[in-house]
Protein backbone atom coordinates (compact mmCIF):
# COMPACT_ATOMS: atom_id res chain seq x y z
CA UNK A 1 0.00 0.00 0.00
CA UNK A 2 1.30 3.39 -0.91
CA UNK A 3 1.84 6.06 1.69
CA UNK A 4 -0.08 9.28 0.89
CA UNK A 5 3.20 11.08 0.36
CA UNK A 6 4.07 8.61 -2.39
CA UNK A 7 0.91 9.17 -4.48
CA UNK A 8 1.91 11.15 -7.58
CA UNK A 9 0.49 14.66 -7.61
CA UNK A 10 -1.36 14.22 -10.92
CA UNK A 11 -3.20 11.16 -9.54
CA UNK A 12 -4.24 12.89 -6.35
CA UNK A 13 -5.68 15.72 -8.38
CA UNK A 14 -7.55 13.52 -10.87
CA UNK A 15 -10.92 14.98 -11.62
CA UNK A 16 -14.02 12.82 -11.67
CA UNK A 17 -14.81 12.19 -15.31
CA UNK A 18 -17.62 14.17 -16.90
CA UNK A 19 -20.03 12.31 -19.17
CA UNK A 20 -21.42 15.42 -20.84
CA UNK A 21 -21.65 15.30 -24.64
CA UNK A 22 -23.58 17.09 -27.39
CA UNK A 23 -26.54 15.68 -29.35
CA UNK A 24 -24.24 15.28 -32.37
CA UNK A 25 -21.78 13.29 -30.24
CA UNK A 26 -24.67 11.11 -29.09
CA UNK A 27 -25.77 10.47 -32.68
CA UNK A 28 -22.25 9.33 -33.54
CA UNK A 29 -22.54 6.68 -30.81
CA UNK A 30 -25.41 5.00 -32.67
CA UNK A 31 -23.89 2.72 -35.30
CA UNK A 32 -25.82 1.90 -38.45
CA UNK A 33 -27.69 -1.35 -38.05
CA UNK A 34 -27.55 -1.35 -34.27
CA UNK A 35 -30.36 -2.17 -31.86
CA UNK A 36 -31.61 1.00 -30.20
CA UNK A 37 -34.01 1.17 -27.26
CA UNK A 38 -36.16 4.26 -26.88
CA UNK A 39 -37.62 5.42 -23.57
CA UNK A 40 -40.42 7.77 -22.56
CA UNK A 41 -44.08 7.19 -23.36
CA UNK A 42 -46.05 8.58 -26.34
CA UNK A 43 -46.12 12.37 -25.74
CA UNK A 44 -43.83 12.33 -22.66
CA UNK A 45 -40.09 12.15 -21.96
CA UNK A 46 -39.02 11.23 -25.49
CA UNK A 47 -35.36 12.23 -26.17
CA UNK A 48 -36.32 14.22 -29.26
CA UNK A 49 -33.17 16.36 -29.50
CA UNK A 50 -31.08 13.19 -29.76
CA UNK A 51 -33.53 11.72 -32.28
CA UNK A 52 -33.19 14.84 -34.43
CA UNK A 53 -29.40 14.57 -34.21
CA UNK A 54 -29.55 10.93 -35.30
CA UNK A 55 -31.62 11.91 -38.32
CA UNK A 56 -29.14 14.69 -39.21
CA UNK A 57 -26.33 12.20 -38.76
CA UNK A 58 -28.00 10.00 -41.38
CA UNK A 59 -28.12 6.78 -39.36
CA UNK A 60 -29.72 3.86 -41.15
CA UNK A 61 -30.79 0.27 -40.71
CA UNK A 62 -31.56 0.70 -37.03
CA UNK A 63 -33.61 -1.86 -35.17
CA UNK A 64 -35.73 0.16 -32.75
CA UNK A 65 -37.03 -1.50 -29.61
CA UNK A 66 -39.31 1.14 -28.23
CA UNK A 67 -41.52 1.96 -25.33
CA UNK A 68 -44.93 2.94 -26.64
CA UNK A 69 -44.10 6.01 -28.68
CA UNK A 70 -45.52 8.74 -30.84
CA UNK A 71 -43.52 11.28 -32.83
CA UNK A 72 -40.21 9.83 -31.59
CA UNK A 73 -40.29 6.51 -33.43
CA UNK A 74 -42.52 7.92 -36.16
CA UNK A 75 -40.00 10.62 -37.09
CA UNK A 76 -37.21 8.03 -37.27
CA UNK A 77 -39.41 6.05 -39.66
CA UNK A 78 -40.21 9.18 -41.69
CA UNK A 79 -36.48 9.91 -42.04
CA UNK A 80 -35.73 6.36 -43.19
CA UNK A 81 -33.49 5.53 -40.22
CA UNK A 82 -35.25 2.30 -39.24
CA UNK A 83 -35.11 -1.18 -40.71
CA UNK A 84 -37.23 -2.72 -37.98
CA UNK A 85 -39.59 -1.62 -35.22
CA UNK A 86 -40.52 -3.63 -32.14
CA UNK A 87 -42.99 -1.81 -29.91
CA UNK A 88 -46.26 -2.57 -28.13
CA UNK A 89 -47.90 0.37 -29.87
CA UNK A 90 -47.29 3.61 -31.68
CA UNK A 91 -49.86 6.39 -31.81
CA UNK A 92 -50.33 10.10 -32.22
CA UNK A 93 -52.96 9.84 -29.47
CA UNK A 94 -55.86 12.27 -30.08
CA UNK A 95 -54.34 13.16 -33.47
CA UNK A 96 -54.76 9.66 -34.84
CA UNK A 97 -52.54 6.83 -35.96
CA UNK A 98 -48.81 7.38 -36.36
CA UNK A 99 -48.60 8.59 -39.98
CA UNK A 100 -45.10 7.55 -41.09
CA UNK A 101 -45.53 4.15 -39.42
CA UNK A 102 -48.83 3.60 -41.17
CA UNK A 103 -47.38 4.61 -44.50
CA UNK A 104 -44.24 2.47 -44.11
CA UNK A 105 -46.36 -0.59 -43.22
CA UNK A 106 -48.59 0.03 -46.23
CA UNK A 107 -45.57 0.33 -48.54
CA UNK A 108 -43.88 -2.63 -46.77
CA UNK A 109 -40.77 -0.53 -46.09
CA UNK A 110 -40.48 -1.45 -42.42
CA UNK A 111 -40.15 -4.80 -40.75
CA UNK A 112 -42.59 -4.91 -37.85
CA UNK A 113 -41.65 -7.18 -34.97
CA UNK A 114 -45.12 -7.39 -33.46
CA UNK A 115 -44.84 -7.46 -29.67
CA UNK A 116 -47.03 -6.62 -26.71
CA UNK A 117 -46.22 -5.32 -23.24
CA UNK A 118 -45.24 -8.70 -21.78
CA UNK A 119 -43.04 -9.40 -24.82
CA UNK A 120 -41.16 -6.12 -24.44
CA UNK A 121 -40.88 -6.42 -20.66
CA UNK A 122 -39.67 -10.03 -20.83
CA UNK A 123 -37.08 -9.38 -23.54
CA UNK A 124 -35.61 -6.36 -21.74
CA UNK A 125 -35.73 -7.96 -18.32
CA UNK A 126 -33.93 -11.05 -19.59
CA UNK A 127 -31.28 -8.73 -21.05
CA UNK A 128 -30.98 -6.83 -17.76
CA UNK A 129 -30.68 -10.12 -15.87
CA UNK A 130 -28.15 -11.65 -18.32
CA UNK A 131 -30.48 -14.55 -18.98
CA UNK A 132 -30.94 -15.95 -22.47
CA UNK A 133 -34.71 -15.65 -22.41
CA UNK A 134 -37.64 -14.70 -20.25
CA UNK A 135 -40.87 -16.58 -19.66
CA UNK A 136 -44.36 -15.22 -20.06
CA UNK A 137 -47.79 -16.76 -19.86
CA UNK A 138 -49.44 -17.88 -23.09
CA UNK A 139 -52.41 -15.56 -23.39
CA UNK A 140 -53.97 -16.99 -26.50
CA UNK A 141 -53.18 -14.05 -28.78
CA UNK A 142 -52.13 -14.27 -32.43
CA UNK A 143 -48.69 -12.78 -31.67
CA UNK A 144 -46.76 -16.10 -31.79
CA UNK A 145 -48.20 -16.72 -35.25
CA UNK A 146 -46.81 -13.50 -36.73
CA UNK A 147 -43.69 -13.25 -34.55
CA UNK A 148 -42.40 -16.78 -33.94
CA UNK A 149 -38.89 -15.46 -33.23
CA UNK A 150 -40.06 -13.55 -30.16
CA UNK A 151 -42.84 -15.85 -28.89
CA UNK A 152 -41.54 -19.40 -28.68
CA UNK A 153 -43.40 -22.42 -27.29
CA UNK A 154 -41.86 -23.49 -24.00
CA UNK A 155 -42.42 -26.51 -21.84
CA UNK A 156 -40.51 -27.82 -18.89
CA UNK A 157 -40.79 -30.78 -16.57
CA UNK A 158 -40.93 -28.41 -13.58
CA UNK A 159 -44.20 -26.94 -14.86
CA UNK A 160 -46.02 -29.59 -16.85
CA UNK A 161 -49.41 -27.91 -16.50
CA UNK A 162 -48.33 -24.36 -17.38
CA UNK A 163 -48.81 -22.77 -20.77
CA UNK A 164 -45.71 -20.64 -21.20
CA UNK A 165 -43.83 -18.86 -23.96
CA UNK A 166 -40.11 -18.09 -24.04
CA UNK A 167 -39.08 -14.60 -25.17
CA UNK A 168 -35.42 -14.19 -26.18
CA UNK A 169 -33.40 -11.47 -24.46
CA UNK A 170 -33.02 -8.30 -26.50
CA UNK A 171 -29.86 -6.44 -25.51
CA UNK A 172 -30.02 -2.92 -26.90
CA UNK A 173 -26.67 -1.64 -28.19
CA UNK A 174 -27.74 1.85 -27.19
CA UNK A 175 -30.57 3.14 -25.03
CA UNK A 176 -31.91 6.65 -25.61
CA UNK A 177 -33.80 8.10 -22.67
CA UNK A 178 -34.73 11.53 -21.34
CA UNK A 179 -34.76 12.80 -17.76
CA UNK A 180 -35.57 16.20 -16.38
CA UNK A 181 -32.38 16.69 -14.44
CA UNK A 182 -28.96 15.19 -14.32
CA UNK A 183 -25.43 15.91 -13.26
CA UNK A 184 -22.27 15.56 -15.30
CA UNK A 185 -21.63 12.10 -13.80
CA UNK A 186 -24.81 10.68 -15.30
CA UNK A 187 -27.11 10.64 -12.27
CA UNK A 188 -30.64 11.10 -13.63
CA UNK A 189 -33.52 12.68 -11.76
CA UNK A 190 -37.14 12.29 -12.77
CA UNK A 191 -39.78 14.80 -11.71
CA UNK A 192 -42.67 12.65 -12.91
CA UNK A 193 -43.17 9.12 -14.17
CA UNK A 194 -40.19 6.98 -15.18
CA UNK A 195 -42.07 4.73 -17.63
CA UNK A 196 -39.81 1.89 -18.88
CA UNK A 197 -36.60 3.93 -18.59
CA UNK A 198 -35.04 2.17 -15.62
CA UNK A 199 -35.49 -1.26 -17.17
CA UNK A 200 -34.16 0.00 -20.50
CA UNK A 201 -31.11 1.46 -18.75
CA UNK A 202 -30.44 -1.86 -17.00
CA UNK A 203 -30.80 -3.82 -20.25
CA UNK A 204 -28.68 -1.76 -22.68
CA UNK A 205 -24.94 -1.86 -23.30
CA UNK A 206 -24.70 1.90 -23.66
CA UNK A 207 -27.10 4.42 -22.13
CA UNK A 208 -27.40 7.94 -23.52
CA UNK A 209 -29.65 10.30 -21.58
CA UNK A 210 -30.72 13.78 -22.53
CA UNK A 211 -31.59 16.11 -19.64
CA UNK A 212 -33.40 19.42 -19.68
CA UNK A 213 -31.32 20.74 -16.82
CA UNK A 214 -27.71 19.93 -16.08
CA UNK A 215 -27.33 20.67 -12.37
CA UNK A 216 -24.36 20.65 -10.04
CA UNK A 217 -23.65 17.62 -7.96
CA UNK A 218 -24.35 19.77 -4.91
CA UNK A 219 -27.83 20.62 -6.16
CA UNK A 220 -28.60 17.07 -7.28
CA UNK A 221 -27.61 15.51 -3.97
CA UNK A 222 -30.13 17.64 -2.10
CA UNK A 223 -32.81 15.26 -3.42
CA UNK A 224 -31.23 11.83 -3.84
CA UNK A 225 -34.71 10.25 -3.79
CA UNK A 226 -35.36 11.83 -7.19
CA UNK A 227 -32.38 10.06 -8.73
CA UNK A 228 -34.11 7.10 -10.35
CA UNK A 229 -31.18 6.00 -12.49
CA UNK A 230 -27.69 6.17 -10.97
CA UNK A 231 -24.78 7.51 -12.99
CA UNK A 232 -22.99 4.18 -13.05
CA UNK A 233 -25.68 2.93 -15.43
CA UNK A 234 -25.37 5.94 -17.72
CA UNK A 235 -22.72 6.29 -20.42
CA UNK A 236 -23.34 9.85 -21.54
CA UNK A 237 -25.42 12.88 -20.61
CA UNK A 238 -26.73 15.27 -23.25
CA UNK A 239 -27.90 18.56 -21.73
CA UNK A 240 -30.57 20.19 -23.92
CA UNK A 241 -33.12 22.61 -22.55
CA UNK A 242 -36.51 21.45 -23.86
CA UNK A 243 -34.78 18.39 -25.24
CA UNK A 244 -38.03 16.42 -25.31
CA UNK A 245 -39.94 19.01 -27.35
CA UNK A 246 -42.51 18.65 -28.93
CA UNK A 247 -43.14 15.96 -26.32
CA UNK A 248 -43.53 17.04 -22.72
CA UNK A 249 -40.97 16.50 -19.98
CA UNK A 250 -42.88 15.43 -16.90
CA UNK A 251 -42.71 17.96 -14.12
CA UNK A 252 -41.13 20.64 -16.34
CA UNK A 253 -43.23 21.25 -19.46
CA UNK A 254 -46.29 19.89 -21.23
CA UNK A 255 -46.46 18.36 -24.70
CA UNK A 256 -46.70 21.00 -27.44
CA UNK A 257 -50.04 19.76 -28.76
CA UNK A 258 -50.18 22.29 -31.56
CA UNK A 259 -46.81 21.19 -32.91
CA UNK A 260 -47.72 17.50 -32.51
CA UNK A 261 -50.95 18.08 -34.41
CA UNK A 262 -49.04 19.89 -37.16
CA UNK A 263 -46.70 16.91 -37.45
CA UNK A 264 -49.59 14.42 -37.50
CA UNK A 265 -51.21 16.32 -40.36
CA UNK A 266 -48.06 17.01 -42.37
CA UNK A 267 -46.66 13.50 -42.03
CA UNK A 268 -49.76 11.92 -43.59
CA UNK A 269 -47.98 11.94 -46.98
CA UNK A 270 -44.41 11.80 -48.27
CA UNK A 271 -44.34 15.43 -49.36
CA UNK A 272 -45.48 16.59 -45.94
CA UNK A 273 -42.93 14.39 -44.17
CA UNK A 274 -40.22 15.89 -46.35
CA UNK A 275 -41.46 19.36 -45.53
CA UNK A 276 -41.47 18.69 -41.79
CA UNK A 277 -38.02 17.12 -41.84
CA UNK A 278 -36.66 20.02 -43.89
CA UNK A 279 -38.20 22.69 -41.71
CA UNK A 280 -37.56 21.20 -38.27
CA UNK A 281 -34.73 18.67 -38.54
CA UNK A 282 -32.47 18.64 -41.57
CA UNK A 283 -32.80 22.39 -42.14
CA UNK A 284 -31.71 23.09 -38.56
CA UNK A 285 -28.00 22.81 -37.88
CA UNK A 286 -28.54 22.20 -34.18
CA UNK A 287 -31.08 22.45 -31.37
CA UNK A 288 -30.82 26.23 -31.15
CA UNK A 289 -31.84 26.41 -34.79
CA UNK A 290 -34.66 23.94 -34.10
CA UNK A 291 -35.99 26.02 -31.21
CA UNK A 292 -35.87 29.10 -33.45
CA UNK A 293 -37.76 27.25 -36.20
CA UNK A 294 -40.43 26.22 -33.67
CA UNK A 295 -40.80 29.80 -32.44
CA UNK A 296 -41.14 31.08 -36.00
CA UNK A 297 -43.82 28.41 -36.57
Partner 1 sequence: MADPALMAPSIAEFTAILLSRQLKDEAVGILGTRSEIAEAACALAQATHAPGLWYMSGPSGVVNPRHGELRPIADDALIQGAEALLELSDNIDMIDWSRRTFDFAVLGGIQVDQFGNLNTVAVGNWANPKLRGPGAIGAGVLAGHAGEFFIVMNEHTTRNFRPHVDFISAMGFGRTGRERAALGLPGRGPQLLISPFGVFDFTEDEHRLRVRTVHPWSSLEEIRANTGFNLAEAADVQPTIQPRPDELETLRTVVDRTGVLRQKSGAS
Check binding of 230 to partner 1 (CB under 8 A): no
- The answer to whether residue 90 forms part of the interface with partner 1 (CB under 8 A) is yes
Of 30 and 98, which has the nearer Cβ to partner 1? 98
Q: Which is nearer to partner 1, 36 or 284 (CB)?
A: 36
Distance CA 90, CA 85 (A): 10
Q: Tell whether residue 97 is a contact of partner 1 (CB under 8 A).
A: yes
- Judged by CB under 8 A, the number of residues near partner 1 is 54
Nearer residue to partner 1 within complex by CB, 102 or 259: 102
Q: Is 267 in the site for partner 1 (CB under 8 A)?
A: no
Q: How far is the CB of 205 from partner 1 (least distance, A)?
A: 18
Whole-angstrom Cα distance, residue 56 to residue 23?
10
Which residues, in sequence order, are CB contacts of 286 under 8 Å at separation 6+?
Answer: 23, 24
Using CB under 8 A as the binding rule, whether residue 164 contacts partner 1 is answered as no
User: How far is it, in rounded angstroms, from Cα 79 to Cα 98?
Assistant: 14
Contact status: 259 vs partner 1 (CB under 8 A): no
Is 227 a binding residue for partner 1 by CB under 8 A? The answer is no
Q: Is 140 in the site for partner 1 (CB under 8 A)?
A: yes
**Of 88, 168, 230, 274, the one binding partner 1 by CB under 8 A:** 88
Q: Which is nearer to partner 1, 100 or 281 (CB)?
A: 100
Stretch that binds partner 1, among 39-47, 238-246, 274-282, 287-295 (CB under 8 A): 39-47
Counting contacts by CB under 8 A, is residue 89 touching partner 1?
yes
Number of CB atoms found within 10 A of residue 114's CB: 18
* CA atoms of 297 and 294, how far apart (whole Å): 5
Does position 123 interact with partner 1 (CB under 8 A)? The reply is no
Question: What residues pair up with 210 in beta bridges, in sequence order?
Answer: 178, 238
Is residue 196 close enough to count as binding partner 1 by CB under 8 A? yes
169, 134 in Cβ contact below 8 A?
yes
Give whichever of 104 and 284 is closer to partner 1, judged by the CB atom.
104
23 vs 73 by CB, closer to partner 1: 73
Min dist CB 184 to partner 1, Å, is 24
Residues near partner 1, by CB under 8 A = 41-44, 68, 87-91, 93-94, 97-98, 101-102, 105-106, 108, 114-119, 121-122, 125, 136-143, 146, 161-163, 191-199, 202, 228, 248, 250-251
Amino acid sequence: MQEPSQIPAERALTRRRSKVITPADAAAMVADGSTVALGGWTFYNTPMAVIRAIIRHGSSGLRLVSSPGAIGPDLLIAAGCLAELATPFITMEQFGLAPAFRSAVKDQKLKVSEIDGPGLAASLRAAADDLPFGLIHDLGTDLPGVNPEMYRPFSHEYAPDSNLLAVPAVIPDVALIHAQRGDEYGNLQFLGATFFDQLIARAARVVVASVDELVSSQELTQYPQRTKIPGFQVTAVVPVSHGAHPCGSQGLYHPDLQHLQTYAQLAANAAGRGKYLGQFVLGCADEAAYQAAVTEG
